[in-house]
């Protein structure tokens, strides 16, 4: 297909330097879809098809979230991403004491197979890619998803999606961990092996820099600490007996896109190049797909403001533009009202429309890697790669990501960056429109989405009914099998799946593993 500008001039699918002397660094970039993938992991990129528009949603009950998912699909979303409430993320049932006041607040409450069944009702799981933002209990939610799909008659070999499953960044920046690092890494490796055998199209991990960036990490820290964690996961999988080229193609990443557009584009390009070299040179990966850094991007929630929330539409557009120019594989655009409350239906639809305008009304999809050869971007890419490489070396000198986590290294580095940025904002050196400059006293009142406070009681009642109706003897037997397996060597996902099939709840299976593995306490908690 020949592409033209509105003036009728031709647009090349890929641009290259006319002469080596024109811009020497560009001559070393390679081709799109070829090692070291600086210019993108696919030869055609968006000229063949746009990125996946994967909108992140989940709140209240499974039924209410299911309604929102159908609205997003009808509005043109090509992928879904599930947000879970804090009790689910921490492996607690809705009737647990620790869950009180948090049920359904920042995501959907999923306690059992019954909830997962309701969440996915009517969603074509064999054609819609679903991502689940869940970490410590990632294996549990994946298995519930698989069981629900099986009930719909959809074979596991047809399921396509991602679980975040990135436990190491929880110890660094986010805090929704349950178990200590070593058993957590075992669960990650077991998930890799299980999916290789049972759900071959599933992306087994989304190694995340997003949450570290939201905690205050710079672009350099974001990719350095993310790649350090990725190294640790690869080592754990290899140590468990998995060949690198069996699981390498299913690794994926998750980054933030901020308003600093040029640096963000350079960050994505540098990250691709660094990962290709790590996988090839350090781990001996030979499959080209093992070398490709495939990543999802979300616009920066931390940069949204409650003041003049409509300005967030401009921020999100710039951030989305950075992600697309940087070559993301999928993208979530935040709603403009998320600094105030869960997004309203109108705001969520507008966020999706922002992506659709970029994909279908601009010329961004006309050519691959439009910033290649930019003096500024190429120089910044090299600078970020060098600085991130130095930080990666510091983590390695400490013994790797887990050893550095146990010493609090990454957390301390990010906190220093966050403090520096906060000081700059307070001093007015870093402008935040509508906050420390260009303020407006006459902002219109905004009506946020309100959740029904009865949700928690409803979930508790559903749990009570589930426990009364299930086969108690079968439940007990399966939970005992899970505890026994946790203290031994077999792949945990098989006994875990059978416990969930016997209608064990998320909290009950996580408690069984807590009984064996204990819980993690960070160094500064003692």
Q: Which residues is 462 bridged to in the sheet?
A: none
Q: What would the DSSP string read from start to end of 211-263?
A: HHHHTT--HHHHHHHHHHHHHHHHHHHHHTT--HHHHGGGEEEEEEE-S-HHH
Is 403 contained in some domain?
A: yes
CATH number at residue 174: 3.20.20.240
Structural domain of residue 214, as residue ranges? 35-426
Nearest by Cα to 253 from 213, 286, 283: 213
What is the pLDDT, as a whole number, of residue 342? Answer: 80
Is 107 contained in some domain?
A: yes
Pairing state between β 10-11 and 3-4: antiparallel
Is 526 contained in some domain?
A: no
Residues 161 and 493 sit within 8 Å (Cβ to Cβ):
no
Is 494 contained in some domain?
A: no
What is the pLDDT, as a whole number, of residue 473? Answer: 98
Blockwise average pLDDT, block size 10, the chain, 526 residues: 82 75 55 96 96 86 93 88 95 96 93 97 93 96 98 95 96 95 96 96 96 97 98 95 95 97 97 98 98 97 95 98 98 93 88 97 96 94 97 98 95 96 95 93 67 87 97 98 94 98 98 97 68
Q: State residue 444 phi and psi, 5-degree precision.
A: -70, 145
Q: How far apart are CA 315 and CA 224, in angstroms?
A: 25
Is 460 contained in some domain?
A: no
Q: How far apart are CA 249 and CA 239, in angstroms?
A: 18
- What is the number of structural domains in the chain? 1
Spatial strand order in the sheet of 52-57: 161-163, 129-133, 79-83, 52-57, 330-332, 295-299, 251-257, 205-208
Question: Is the four-CA dihedral 57, 61, 64, 67 of positive or negative sign?
Answer: positive
Residues 401 and 232 sit within 8 Å (Cβ to Cβ):
yes
What is the pLDDT, as a whole number, of residue 18? Answer: 63
What is the pLDDT, as a whole number, of residue 440? Answer: 84
Is 187 contained in some domain?
A: yes
Q: How far apart are CA 267 and CA 219, in angstroms?
A: 6
Q: Which residues is 14 bridged to in the sheet?
A: 368
Contacts (Cβ under 8 Å, ≥6 apart) of 274:
223, 227, 385, 388, 389, 392
429: its two tokens: 């050196």
What is the pLDDT, as a whole number, of residue 212? Answer: 97
What is the pLDDT, as a whole number, of residue 153? Answer: 96
159: its two tokens: 């399921």
What is the pLDDT, as a whole number, of residue 443? Answer: 61
Is 27 contained in some domain?
A: no
What does pTM read for this prediction?
0.92
Residues 291 and 51 sit within 8 Å (Cβ to Cβ):
no
Is 101 contained in some domain?
A: yes
Q: State residue 325 phi and psi, 5-degree precision.
A: -65, -25
10 Å CB burial of residue 468 (0-12, 13-18, 19+) is exposed
């Amino acid at each position: 297909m020949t592409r033209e500008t509105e003036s009728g001039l031709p647009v090349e699918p890929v641009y290259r330097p006319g002469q080596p002397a024109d811009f020497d660094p560009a001559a070393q970039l390679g081709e799109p879809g070829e090692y070291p993938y600086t210019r993108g992991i696919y030869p055609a990129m968006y000229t063949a098809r746009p990125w996946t528009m994967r909108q992140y949603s989940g709140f209240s009950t499974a039924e209410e979230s299911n309604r929102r998912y159908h609205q997003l699909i009808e509005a043109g979303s090509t992928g879904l991403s599930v947000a879970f409430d804090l009790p689910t993320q921490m492996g607690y049932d809705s009737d647990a004491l620790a869950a009180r006041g948090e049920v359904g607040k920042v995501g959907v409450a999923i306690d059992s197979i019954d909830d997962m069944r309701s969440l996915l009702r009517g969603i074509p799981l064999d054609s819609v890619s679903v991502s689940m933002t869940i970490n410590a209990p990632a294996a549990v939610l994946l298995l519930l998803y698989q069981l629900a799909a099986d009930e719909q008659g959809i074979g596991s070999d047809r399921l396509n999606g991602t679980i975040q499953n990135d436990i190491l960044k929880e110890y660094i920046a986010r805090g929704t961990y349950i178990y200590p690092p070593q058993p957590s890494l075992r669960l990650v490796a077991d998930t890799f092996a299980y999916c290789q055998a049972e759900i071959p199209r599933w992306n087994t991990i989304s190694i995340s820099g997003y949450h570290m960036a939201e905690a205050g990490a710079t672009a350099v820290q974001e990719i350095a600490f993310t790649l350090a964690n990725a190294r640790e996961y690869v080592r754990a999988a290899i140590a468990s007996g998995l060949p690198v080229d069996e699981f390498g193609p299913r690794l994926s990443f998750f980054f933030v896109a901020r308003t600093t557009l040029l640096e963000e584009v350079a960050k994505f390009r540098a990250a691709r190049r660094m990962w290709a070299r790590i996988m090839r040179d350090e781990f001996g990966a030979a499959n080209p797909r093992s070398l490709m850094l495939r990543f999802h991007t979300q616009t920066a929630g931390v940069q949204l403001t409650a003041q003049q929330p409509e300005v967030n539409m401009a921020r999100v557009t710039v951030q989305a533009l950075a992600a697309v120019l940087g070559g993301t594989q999928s993208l979530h655009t935040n709603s403009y009202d998320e600094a105030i409350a869960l997004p309203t239906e109108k705001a969520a639809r507008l966020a999706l429309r922002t992506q659709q305008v970029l994909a279908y009304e601009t010329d961004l999809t006309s050519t691959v890697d439009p910033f290649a050869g930019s003096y500024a971007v190429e120089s910044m890419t090299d600078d970020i790669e060098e600085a991130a490489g130095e930080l990666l070396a510091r983590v390695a000198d400490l013994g790797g990501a887990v050893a550095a986590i146990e010493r609090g290294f990454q957390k301390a580095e990010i906190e220093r960056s966050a403090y520096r940025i906060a000081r700059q904002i307070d001093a007015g050196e870093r402008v935040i429109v509508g906050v420390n400059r260009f303020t407006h006293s006459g902002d219109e009142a905004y009506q946020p989405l309100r959740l029904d406070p009865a949700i928690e009681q409803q979930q508790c009642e559903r749990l009570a009914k589930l426990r009364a109706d299930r086969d108690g003897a079968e439940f007990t037997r399966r939970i005992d099998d899970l505890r026994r397996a946790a203290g031994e060597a077999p792949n945990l996902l098989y006994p875990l799946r059978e416990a969930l099939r016997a209608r064990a709840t998320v909290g009950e299976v996580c408690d069984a593993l807590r009984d064996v593995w204990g819980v993690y306490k960070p160094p500064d908690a003692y």
